[in-house]
Structure 1
Amino acid sequence: MRSRVLAVLGVSAAVLALAGCGSEMNGTPSAASGAPAQSQSQSSAPQSSPEAPPSAQQNSSSDGSVTPQGTKLKLGDKAIVPFKSEGKTGTIGVTVKSIDKGVEADLALLDLGDKAKGMTPYYVRVTVSNESGTDFSYTSLGLMNALLPDGSEAQGVSVIGTFDKCDSGDAGKAFTTKGATYDSCVLAVAPAGTTVTGASYNEGEYSDQAPGTDYGSKPITWQS
């Protein structure tokens, strides 16, 4: 018998998983609720003057530096971002490899009912790499969104269970050495007349590790 897959159609793109949390595969409970709140001094810090977002050419991934917030990349470009899990810190790479268009029938397994009528699914395929060689086993990628041509967020679908066409994936036990990789996927839908053309990395939880990496405030974006 085929197992049932549950899905929720949201107003923004799906959270692949709580970044830095252990997977249920190893029985580690989520630690997201214990994340420290932003201090008053941080929230009241003066804002810097607006600057043009960095381009792909300014993304110095080869020397180990992290990608600045607001950087605009093309599909296939890698962003290097800070990451931590269970007290261990380091960096990971996030590469949006492709954006694949599905068909409405793909959504039948997700039991979305009338909400899926007229909607086309898009699969944002991402490769995550271990850039620092830190033991990040069983972690998952943080918050990513699919983007429409005007830069707004596409409607996302959070899936509970296995959806073969777009597996969110996690790092597994071998994600402990520099160069280790795993694949993930963001599922989003768009109505007739529009398309998903890009993606953004919106995780701001690790901005204390490196200045200028509050991606929740200024995401890294990829556009085709």
Structure 2
Amino acid sequence: MNREQAVDRLATLVDRVERETMPVPVREVWAFGDVALGLDPIERLDVYLTKDVIMGSDAEAAADFEAEYGIKGVGTSVRAEWAEAHPDRVRVSDNGYAAPERCLAAELVADDEPIHLEVCNASFEDNVRQRLKGAIARDAYAEVLDPRGVCLWIDGTRDDEAFDRLREASLAMPTLPAAIGMLGADEDVANEAAAALKRQRAAQEGASVRGDMV
């Protein structure tokens, strides 16, 4: 997609998060990667969602949904009202429980769209640091999260200036190795992590999603 289409797609996504009931409460929406760099065209659109936990639980709704669909966790992992309205969009983890990140992807992104969602309970900036720390400790550099992001929406407030700057490609961003290095990584580690992320992105097709808990 070209840059204008990518920014329009981000605006539509934020509109839906703002106005519609999501599988879980969403606190922040960030864009990162190619669109933040101002590239045109954009091969993949990277979006980060900070989710909140569901306060309380609905044991009756959970039991009813599990009895009908065989899926656990509705009313605790994801909102019961959303699942009951959209049972076809409920996605599960390997243990059979409703998976918030997969449900968000099913709700917000079509399977064939070149969009990657990152979903976590921590803010983008906090998770960037946590992921880098964990990746270095495990020599698992593909787990690094591209730090070059821009916040589009937080706690109900849209940043119109951020959207304008994405359209204008006026955000000054460092190279990926430099951005990783600014977080404290050695030059060799930063270069290796950047190469691992590049390989990972090249292998992605259609919609993809990753969920984290920090």
Same fold (TM over 0.5): no
TM-score (norm 1): 0.24
Higher strand share: 1
